[in-house]
Chains A and B, each alone.
Chain A
Amino acid sequence: MSQTITHAFDAAGFDALLASQSEPDWLTTLRREAFEHAQAMSWPERRHEEWIRTDIRIFQLGKFGLPVLDPADCDLAETEPLHQLVEGVALGGRIETVDGCITKESLDEDLAAKGVVFGSLSKLALSHPELVRPYLFTAFDPDHDKFAALHAAFMSGGQFLYVPRGVVIDRPLHIGSILTDGGTDTTHTLVVLEDGAEATLLHESNSTDSGGAGLHLGSIELVQKPGSNLRYVNLQEWGHKTYHFAQQKAVIDRDCSLQWTIAAMGSSLSKVNQSVDLVGPGAHSQVNGVMFTEGRQHLAYHTLQHHKAESCRSDFLYKAAQQDKSRTVWRGMIKVDPAAQKTDGYQRNDNLVLSHHARADSIPGLEIEADDVRCTHGSTTSKVDEDQIFYARCRGFTRKEATRMIVTGFFQQIFDRITIDSVREALGAAIARQVREYE
């Protein structure tokens, strides 16, 4: 982190950001509100249940500048994007961002002809307000905490995907976000699928330096209208000195299907709130989470499966492995509203602790207000067994190969649920890269 900060997260920075964006007034108004709220809000208190296990005392916002505001200022020289999720995949469109600045965007003509919209959120807010405005900040809550308010005020380089009624996109779309060392990313991803629409979105985040510093203040909003079907994959490999604060939420309506896969490997400290609201009968969501940490990484995921309508299914499986002195926190909640009879909810978190100094916190939870439901939850934490490693070594595996195999085996249950080959392979490779030598 050597660059000096041109624009900070303050009033002057906010003005500079507004000046750099050509966006509609309603969006600027949303930003101004959020900025005022952010100014008035304190940082989350340690004693707050959400933050009790995640210490942010060393986080200093003043150390980070705003995202790059002018694409011309983007340093593209060293930003060869890592596109792991798309190996051998024919894409329908792609967006690339560097330090929160969109550097490339494309969408196949046949999809555009069907009314699919995929590109820069701020540009599309101007050109297609009727598609953006009704949905922006409907799933995302800018008042959730100071991080959310800051995100709403300073978001930049956002992406918008809109799939019209009944349109089925047969090839995945891709978003690649890159952070340079010391950079800031405040991208906001908004996805809207109209009735019966289908899409697959592959989203990966990397730093140019795997040990790189940086700040990601992000949000994902997924809005699904009845009968739509979304597969969303998020591979997070931010540099290991990067802060990652995000609010990610899907709102899925009647008979929707959502498969949401999150692989979290990067960042020094992550605090992510991920939730799925099931708001129409017959909606089904499957969430697959992989966390794999090393060094002193601290990854905290708070998940919520909120059943607001009857006869919905939600199935959350998070598997995490921890190395060195790293720690993961998973706090899950199934919330069932009184109206949500016949709910079928499942949540599970399995941990594989690979070092004596690593730690896994696993806190499943249920809040059920309906009486005719089936909700199950479970949590396991185990250690890699020396006898397993010895057994594999007796078959010619080095210690590292044995560990890698055991860890990969641990995550296999998640891979078995992933229906996209390139994603399975990319996750397998990302996990293998992160396995260290143990002696």
Chain B
Amino acid sequence: MPTPSHTRNPFTSVETPAVGVEIQGLSKNFGRLEVLKDVSFSIEPGEIFVMMGPSGSGKSVLLKHIVGLETPTAGRVMVNGLDATTEAAREQVRMAMVFQAGALFNSLTVYDNLALYLREHQVADENGIKEKVMRALQILSLEQTAQKFPSDLSGGMKKRVAIARALVMEPQLLLYDEPTSELDPVMSATISEIIALLRDEYHVTSLVVTHDRDLALNIADRVGILMDSRLVFLGTPAELRHPSNEKVNSFLNPKIDLKNPRYKKLET
């Protein structure tokens, strides 16, 4: 686990502390559907925490609670000691989220996607904004895409632009929702490297929601596994290699059994 650190702002000399996250007894219901049940864990400042779990286990909903897009049915989410549902958390903690599908603004060019936050928060004048945007694009090797629209980009490029957009916000907490989904193995590895690089270079606290076992084992400081809406595993990547929980083991090491396929078991 990393020592508590400071976000070394990649674009200015300002230093801001990385922030921690505390999730206490979080439950969320959508109507009668229980998506999260009494989930509790914490993320240390500067840590890369990877949350895994089967589809529909509530991972993305958990992320939305941390950025304040959802309100808990029970329990609470604290970011740097502030309730995540409050305006204060959004105003005092710079949080950025890399959405699964990028959530890039389709009517804006890549450059304007990155510049939007800086312009709206009047972080710098146009020259300063240009410098910061081009720097972020350069870190992600995206300089050539500045004037392109999101519709002209490949899946991997969109993910990298989404990360670059998060980076220009100089975040203290960076959340990734399935950053390697729908990418080829090489691009997945590249994205994993970028996530690790951002933490190592800029000490951003990172929470990554993913199905990607390689990503979890290679870059995580700690890993959590959500199954059936509950947190069933919390430990280091080393502990994840030999989980004691049978369900976790079968989730991480699924065997392909052509003689006795799963879908037939589901039918019966």
Decide whether A and B assemble into one complex: no
B contact set with A: CB distance below 8 Å: none
Give chain A's interface residues, CB within 8 Å of chain B. none
